[in-house]
């Protein structure tokens, strides 16, 4: 194994929560409200349930061999060369997802916070921080997660609590009367971020010190993350209304602006934004780590650190060449991300399980034939 570190189930849960929230906390409320309107919260709820089924599927993939990460599984199931070929495509997927995350945070910062700063500088700052994490390894990333998780979690929970008095239930009424079809159709694009992307955790799951609790923590992590996503989307609809949530690219940030309690508790949206910077940082770092790990497997390198520096600079280019502008990017999120991510997040695990089972059956048959001969 290239990675020697071990993490515990609690650390794994935190990583999964951070990853689930990551960029989805920016993307989901707006995308779902655009197509499902007042029923967007139902879409997110249904998507979360499907998300748990995806975790079940991913855990089944891990069942093929608990000790092998996804790159080793590719070679174990498909053979060395086909496995390496699939690894190349999977790494391309992870590379694009990591670049996408970088671009998302870059776009947000340049449109709302640091308007005059070039996007390249913001991307460089984020990628250098992630690079430091990747160089230090999985254990350090997980321990850092433990430190930042309470801040990210409680600031989101507090945001929801503080904006709750402004909620108006008429914004989500009538429930499932108009645009019912839209609510169901939107489930597919919503699955694209983050549920189809969860497949990257198959590269980390074998490093959880006890595999049973590790699998359970996968469910718990996605459950907690989904619950927060649901709460943020619901609050966005209740406070801002479906139309405003749909028209605004970052309704969660606008929701933070609505926090108004005691006189000194005004304009603290940036504190909320910083909280989800942490979640996005972890999402970028996990993707970057999996990319480095995969490259090390592909080229039979000694550690994950070897290629991390040149990959960091390639990631910035991936982010810059992702989309010509924010509108095109939003369009990509709604239309093409889900099929693209679904190919690797659903189809590939299915094929992996199916091939592994068929090979197992074949092996048993061969064994029986041999036993009959002797």
Partner 1 sequence: MFKAFSVLLGAGLVFILDYRSLKANKKWDRRVYIVIFAISLGVWMLYIFNVQFPYVIQVVEKIYNPIFDSFNQKLEQKQSFRVH
Please count the other Cβ atoms lying within 10 Å of the Cβ belonging to residue 169. 9
Residue 345 beta carbon to partner 1: minimum distance, rounded to whole angstroms: 14
**What are the phi and psi torsion angles at 7 (to 5°)?**
-120, 160
Verify binding: residue 150, partner 1, rule CB under 8 A.
no
Residue 353 binds partner 1 (CB under 8 A): no
Plot region of 241 (φ>0 → left; ψ -120 to 50 → alpha; else → beta): left
Would you count residue 243 as binding partner 1 (CB under 8 A)? yes
193 binds partner 1 (CB under 8 A): no
How many Cβ atoms are within 10 Å of 336's Cβ, its own excluded? 12
Residue 86 engages partner 1 in binding (rule: CB under 8 A): no
| Residue 368 Cα distances to 64, 238, 354, angstroms | 22, 63, 21
Number of H helices and E strands in the chain, helices first, is 17, 0
Q: Indicate whether 326 belongs to the interface with partner 1 (CB under 8 A).
A: no
User: Residue 115, SS3?
Assistant: coil
- Does residue number 173 form part of the binding site for partner 1 (CB under 8 A)? no
Q: Work out whether 300 is an interface residue with partner 1 (CB under 8 A).
A: yes
- Here's the x/- map for partner 1, 6-45, by CB under 8 A: it reads as ---------------------------xxxxx--------
To partner 1, the closest distance from the beta carbon of 199 in angstroms equals 17
Q: Which residues contact 257 (CB under 8 A, 6 or more apart)?
A: 267, 269
Q: Which residues of 225-263 are buried (b: 16+ CB within 10 A; e: fewer)?
A: bbebbbbbbbbbbbbbbbebbbebbbbbbbbbbbbeeee
Q: Which is closer to partner 1, CB of 39 or CB of 62?
A: 39
Q: How far is the CB of 305 from partner 1 (least distance, A)?
A: 7
- Which residue lies nearer to partner 1 by CB, 272 or 334? 334
Which residue carries 């592994």 as its tokens? Answer: 356
Tell me if 71 contacts partner 1 by CB under 8 A.
no
Site residues (vs partner 1, CB under 8 A)? 33-37, 96, 99, 179, 181-182, 185-186, 188-189, 242-243, 246-247, 295, 299-303, 305-307, 309-311, 313-314, 317-318, 320-324, 328-329, 331-332, 334-337, 339-340
């Amino acid at each position: 194994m290239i990675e020697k570190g071990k993490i515990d189930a609690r650390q794994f849960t935190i990583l999964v929560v951070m990853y689930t929230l990551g960029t989805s906390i920016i993307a989901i409320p707006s995308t779902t409200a655009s197509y499902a309107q007042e029923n967007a919260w139902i879409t997110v709820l249904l998507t979360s349930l499907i998300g748990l089924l995806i975790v079940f599927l991913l855990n089944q993939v891990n069942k093929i061999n608990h000790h092998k990460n996804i790159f080793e599984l590719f070679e174990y199931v498909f053979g060395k060369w086909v496995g390496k070929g699939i690894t190349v495509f999977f790494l391309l997927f992870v590379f694009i997802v990591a670049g996408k995350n970088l671009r998302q945070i870059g776009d947000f910062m340049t449109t709302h916070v640091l308007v005059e700063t070039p996007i390249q500088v913001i991307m460089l700052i984020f990628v250098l921080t992630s690079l430091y994490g990747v160089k230090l390894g999985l254990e350090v990333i997980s321990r850092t997660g433990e430190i930042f998780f309470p801040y990210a979690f409680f600031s989101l929970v507090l945001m929801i609590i503080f904006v709750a008095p402004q909620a108006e239930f008429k914004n989500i009424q009538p429930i499932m009367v108009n645009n019912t079809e839209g609510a169901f159709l939107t489930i597919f694009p919503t699955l694209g971020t983050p549920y189809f992307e969860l497949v990257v955790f198959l590269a980390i799951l074998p490093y959880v010190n006890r595999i049973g609790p590790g699998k359970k923590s996968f469910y718990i992590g996605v459950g907690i993350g989904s619950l927060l996503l649901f709460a943020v989307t619901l609050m966005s609809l209740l406070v801002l209304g479906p139309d405003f949530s749909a028209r605004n690219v970052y309704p969660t940030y606008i929701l933070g602006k609505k926090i108004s309690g005691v006189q000194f508790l005004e304009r603290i949206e940036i504190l909320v934004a910083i909280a989800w910077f942490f979640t996005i940082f972890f999402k970028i770092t996990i993707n970057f780590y999996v990319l480095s790990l995969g490259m090390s497997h592909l080229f039979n390198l000694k550690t994950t650190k070897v290629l991390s520096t040149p990959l960091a600079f390639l990631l910035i280019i991936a982010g810059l060449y992702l989309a010509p502008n924010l509108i095109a990017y939003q369009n990509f999120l709604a239309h093409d991300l889900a099929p693209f991510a679904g190919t690797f997040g659903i189809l590939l695990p299915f094929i992996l399980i199916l091939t592994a089972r068929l090979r197992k059956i074949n092996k048993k048959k061969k064994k029986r034939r041999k036993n009959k001969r002797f």
